[in-house]
């Protein structure tokens, strides 16, 4: 017997009934951007490797350790996208969206790829819903984007054990001074070689180290919020004022850095306390300067990426039931010679009118067909036998109560359309 193929390490299949939860989560995360004037964008799964090296940051683990990079047959170095922002900004600039009405606002969804050590909540292919808005440095835009992330998770999905962490990472004016102060502090610590190297490239990334022994060394580390310039302080305070007005509950997190180099000023993260070590389910921030780094004009930008996979784990951890949206309304059963064609015609008419319908395939007996109807979760079974066909009628059986009624065959579609739509 030939061995069955299995999904590659670090990936998994989204299959029913879990796929109902997965789709419901993706829809919930996508809803606030749609309601906030963000247009949909879709970009290639792979890009020039240099785009991510420049856009994500050479010092990040994403670029240095985790990218799926390969040479195509033309000798070009390409990379499966490890995150969404760089590719989306490339598309916005290439298609001149920065030259139209600003801010230009888009949302997207799709898989990202990172070569990570697989564990619960961390996969080598993971799906995100993201937004990007370029052309504005208004603190109200920061608040809008943070509100969308919080509203989707707390209000639309109903997550309770969720914390929103927020910080300011300063700007090109105040961060260099803070960086020098932090570097002087780190130089005095007994850091391992890899962490010391990271501190040399980007000392702020050391603050993002999750290892308890490293965090113990950082207890007295200088923090960015205490070293902001006046403009960044005003920006951060204004963002928090807007969030208060929107009713968004948040926690100030002065050590929050996140794992990408392009963030400035506002940065935020959503964490769920029921997920263990991999508690972050999404986040984002402001990236003024990134558009210019990628060849565009010197304009501001802000965005987020929310993980569909990890959010599903959070939903399951809280016992939230998102199933039921994909259930079948009607299950059509054909019994006897000559009934298949009119039954299939009926099936098509129901689906065309928006009634979710399935069919008892393979000429099943009435007993087997009714078991199939029960398994489908259908609300009614429509039974078309030879007697019913001769009288232009059909039996409607309510699968919850067991009650049976008879309807004219040419009226049943209208009746079920009115009932289920």
Domains of the chain: 18-174+228-317 (3.30.930.10), 330-420 (3.40.50.800)
The torsion of the CA quartet 364, 370, 371, 372, rounded to 10 degrees, works out to 70
* DSSP character at residue 102: S
Q: How far apart are CA 153 and CA 144, in angstroms?
A: 15
| Antiparallel, parallel or unpaired: β 357-359 and 380-384 | unpaired
CB 284 within 8 A of CB 167: no
User: Concatenated DSSP letters for 318-355?
Assistant: TT---TTTT--SEEEEE-STT-HHHHHHHHHHHHHTT-
The reported pLDDT for the residue numbered 119 is 82
Across the chain, which has 421 residues, the per-10-residue mean pLDDT values are 90 93 96 97 97 84 89 96 96 96 97 90 93 97 98 96 95 90 91 86 82 89 93 97 97 84 90 86 94 94 96 96 83 96 97 96 94 93 96 96 95 96 88
Which spans in 104-206 are helix H? 139-150, 175-186, 193-201
pLDDT at 150: 97
Q: What angle do CA 242, 244, 247 make, to 5 degrees?
A: 110
| pLDDT for 361 | 95
The answer to whether 364 touches 371, Cβ cutoff 8 Å, is no
> CB neighbours of 233 closer than 8 A, spacing ≥ 6?
168
φ and ψ of 36, to 5 deg: -110, 15
Rounded to an integer, what distance in angstroms lies between the CA atom of residue 330 and that of residue 357? 5
Contact 328, 356 (CB under 8 A): yes
Q: What is the pLDDT of residue 274?
A: 85
Return the structure tokens found at 269: 């993260």
Whole-number pLDDT of residue 73: 96
């Amino acid at each position: 017997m030939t061995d069955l193929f299995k999904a590659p390490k670090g990936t998994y299949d989204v299959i029913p009934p879990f796929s109902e939860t997965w789709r419901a989560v993706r829809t919930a995360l996508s809803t606030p951007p749609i309601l906030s004037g963000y247009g949909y964008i879709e970009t290639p799964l792979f890009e020039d490797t240099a785009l991510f090296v420049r856009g994500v940051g050479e010092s990040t683990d994403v670029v240095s350790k985790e990218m799926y990079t390969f040479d195509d047959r033309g000798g070009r170095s390409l990379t499966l996208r490890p995150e969404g922002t760089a590719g989306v900004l490339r598309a916005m600039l290439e298609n001149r969206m920065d030259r139209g009405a600003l801010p230009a606002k888009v949302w997207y969804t799709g898989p990202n790829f990172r070569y990570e050590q697989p564990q619960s909540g961390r996969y080598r292919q993971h799906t995100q819903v993201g937004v990007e808005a370029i052309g504005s440095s208004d603190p109200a835009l920061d608040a809008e984007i943070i509100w969308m992330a919080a509203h989707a998770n707390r209000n639309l999905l109903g997550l309770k054990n969720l914390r929103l962490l927020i910080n300011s990472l300063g700007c090109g004016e105040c961060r260099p001074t803070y960086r020098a102060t932090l570097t002087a502090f780190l130089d005095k610590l007994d850091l391992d070689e890899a962490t010391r190297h990271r501190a040399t490239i980007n000392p702020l990334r050391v603050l993002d180290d999750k290892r308890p022994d490293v965090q113990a060394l950082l207890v007295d580390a200088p923090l960015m919020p205490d070293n902001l310039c006046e403009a960044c302080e005003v920006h951060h305070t204004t963002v928090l004022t807007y969030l208060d007005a929107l009713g968004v509950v948040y926690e100030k997190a002065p050590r929050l850095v996140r794992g990408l180099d392009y963030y400035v000023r506002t940065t935020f993260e959503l964490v769920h306390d029921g997920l263990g070590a991999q508690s972050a389910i999404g986040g984002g921030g402001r990236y003024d300067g990134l558009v210019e780094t990628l060849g565009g004009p010197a304009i501001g930008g802000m965005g987020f990426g929310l993980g569909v996979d990890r959010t599903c784990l959070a939903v399951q951890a809280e016992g939230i039931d998102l199933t039921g949206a994909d259930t079948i309304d009607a299950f059509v059963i054909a019994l006897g010679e000559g009934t298949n064609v009119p039954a299939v015609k009926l099936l098509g008419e129901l689906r065309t009118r928006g009634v979710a319908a399935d069919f008892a395939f393979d000429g099943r007996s009435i007993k087997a067909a009714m078991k199939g109807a029960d398994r489908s979760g259908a609300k009614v079974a429509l039974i078309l036998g030879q007697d019913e066909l001769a009288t232009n009628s059909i039996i409607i059986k309510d699968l919850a109560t067991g009650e049976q009624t008879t309807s004219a065959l040419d009226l049943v579609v209208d009746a079920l359309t009115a009932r289920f739509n």
